[in-house]
Amino acid sequence: MKISVALLARFNDQITLEFTSSMAYRQLAIEMNAQDLPGMAQWLRRQADEEVVHANKFIDHVLDRGSHPVIGTVPAPDVPVGSSAGQVFAAALHHEEVVSESIRNLVRAADAEGDIDSRPLLNWFVEEQIEEEATVKEILARIKLVGDDGPGLLRLDSELASRPGGTTENTDR
Ligand code: FEO
């Protein structure tokens, strides 16, 4: 089933938002590198890579259905220089909440059109967003618990460095 023109526009917007997410995470990683928190920077950089995988999943879906995906304008990341670890992960959480709502709107639009073919992909993203929000929330809560305790922050930083490389998804399909 071919994607409607209206739904294709929404898929293109989502593709652009995933690349926007990648740039945002990359900038957040830079902020943590600049403050000598390499573990947090590593975690955020891995997430930037995963967002590209997300964009590619949408691109592949649109191509597989015989349509032509187009990447839109990716805005510069809105991350204040010198943001603390707490501010960085709060920004990440806010960003994930925006993405989650965008995915829900995509689900609503696809359902309204009876676009059953996109359902498995969109269900995967609904699950993925639940997981991503929960993970970022947990990191943020732990940063708040640590507060001004320098050694505590360094411990958390080294824990986050252990996030494995690669992605959760196979980019080769
Ligand atoms: Fe692709 Fe973190 O949302």
54 lines ligand 1 (CB under 6 A): yes
Residue 114, CB half-sphere, CA atoms under 13 Å: how many?
1
Taking Cα atoms as reference points, which of 169, 148, 129 lies closest to residue 85? Answer: 148
**Ligand 1 atom nearest to 132, measured from its CA:** 2
Of 164 and 81, which is predicted with more confidence? 81
20 lines ligand 1 (CB under 6 A): no
What's the predicted TM-score (pTM) here?
A: 0.93
Q: Are 93 and 137 in contact (CB under 8 A)?
A: yes
Residue nearest to atom 2 of ligand 1 (CA): 96
Q: What are phi and psi of 144, to 5 degrees?
A: -65, -40
pLDDT tens-digit series, residues 136-167? 999 999 999 999 899 999 999 999 998 877 55
Q: Is the per-residue pLDDT at 170 higher than 70? A: no
Residue 116 CA to ligand 1 centre (angstroms): 22
21 lines ligand 1 (CB under 6 A): yes
Of 104 and 80, which is predicted with more confidence? 104
Average pLDDT of the chain to the nearest whole number:
94
The residue behind tokens 């926007």 is: 20
Residue nearest to atom 1 of ligand 1 (CA): 51
**pLDDT for res 164:** 79
99 lines ligand 1 (CB under 6 A): yes
**Ligand 1 atom nearest to 100, measured from its CA:** 3
**Domains defined for the chain, CATH in brackets:** 5-160 (1.20.1260.10)
Residue 18 CA to ligand 1 centre (angstroms): 6
